[in-house]
Amino acid sequence: MGQKLDYLRKYNKNIRLLTIDEIDKISVDLIPSNWRELFKERNVRKRIDLLLDIWKKYKATELRNTISYLSEHLENIEIMEVDNLYSILYTIKNSKGKYLYYEGRNPQDKFENEELEKSWNNIPDSIRSFYENIHNGFYYYASESMGLVPFESVTYLGDEDLDWDIIDDLKESIQIDLETSFGFFSNGMGDYIAIDYKNCKNDNATFWSAKIQPKYNINFWNYVDEWIVIGFE
């Protein structure tokens, strides 16, 4: 526990890992009721299974590879608290024996992204379902990447402060409207899986990059599922 906390506090010195008894004392409106119930289970394996049941309820098909990997390699889940904000810490031991820490934010978090909040009802139901029922982002803790980022870090591609030099080098006309596009998945190196809500039928998405030619008409969940598993390895 001490080594884990030392590692976590490299990135946020105020983090606490809560005991089950402390979780019981959290105000009822601050975490989802299903989190409260699953953390009453003192057997870690059963607790993990209960959490993965939530994933399966909402994303059994779209994130089937991610769920399968977590079922095999997830060793522990705990609630983290920073300044009265709560999230779930996933401790994963990957196939190479390396420990990885992933954070799943609280689906009850408030929006910290004005552009996204204004457009939220236009975002595909399947994406809103993840954020509203499972996690407000699920990502590699140390870099806040290789996963679905939290509201505050969803990239609005139309942001005037972003410099998309790639546009000058496109081999074909741009096929998305940056003003209606958001990057929900980030690999931490300037690459995104983005949704243009004017053209997102059947979870149609775009691989958008600051450096590489875009790929259009990809399936959002197929790419997200594959890239999350790549991140685990």
Would residue 209 count as lying in a domain?
A: no
pLDDT on residue 1: 66
Q: Which residue has the tokens 């809500």?
A: 197
Would residue 178 count as lying in a domain?
A: no
pLDDT band at 124 (very low <50, low <70, confident <90, very high): very high
Q: Which residue has the tokens 């990502």?
A: 139
Question: pLDDT of 154-177, one tens digit each?
Answer: 999 999 888 888 888 888 889 999
Query: Which structure tokens are listed for 175?
Result: 């096929």
Range of the domain at 99: 2-152+219-232
Average pLDDT over residues 193-215: 94
Model confidence at 191: pLDDT above 70: yes
Distance CA 103, CA 223 (A): 20
Would residue 194 count as lying in a domain?
A: no
Would residue 190 count as lying in a domain?
A: no
- Residue 50's alpha-carbon distances to 3, 44, 57, in angstroms, are 27, 10, 11
Residue 148 bridge partners (DSSP): 138, 185
> How far apart, in Å, do the first and last CA atoms of the chain sit?
23
Calculate what percentage of the chain has a pLDDT beyond 90.
Answer: 84
Lowest mean pLDDT: which of 133-142, 166-175, 178-187, 193-202?
Answer: 166-175
pTM of the model: 0.95
Average pLDDT over residues 205-224: 95
Question: pLDDT of 88-117, one tens digit each?
Answer: 999 999 999 999 999 999 999 999 899 999
Please, what is the Cα angle at 96 between 65 and 90, to 5 degrees? Answer: 55
Going through 19-157 in order, the beta strands assigned E by DSSP cover 74-82, 85-93, 99-105, 138-140, 145-148, 155-156
Calculate what percentage of the chain has a pLDDT beyond 70.
Answer: 100
Residue 99 bridge partners (DSSP): 93
* CA dihedral of 24, 52, 121, 162, whole degrees rounded to 10: 100
Would residue 74 count as lying in a domain?
A: yes
Would residue 111 count as lying in a domain?
A: yes
Q: What is the mean pLDDT of the chain?
A: 94
Would residue 186 count as lying in a domain?
A: no
Q: For the chain, how many structural domains are there in total?
A: 1
Q: Judge whether 140 and 146 are in contact, CB under 8 Å.
A: yes
Distance CA 33, CA 48 (A): 16
Where does residue 29 rank: exposed (0-12), middle (13-18), buried (19+ CB within 10 A)?
Answer: exposed
pLDDT on residue 83: 85
Question: pLDDT of 32-60, one tens digit each?
Answer: 999 999 999 999 999 999 999 999 999 99
Model confidence at 203: pLDDT above 90: yes
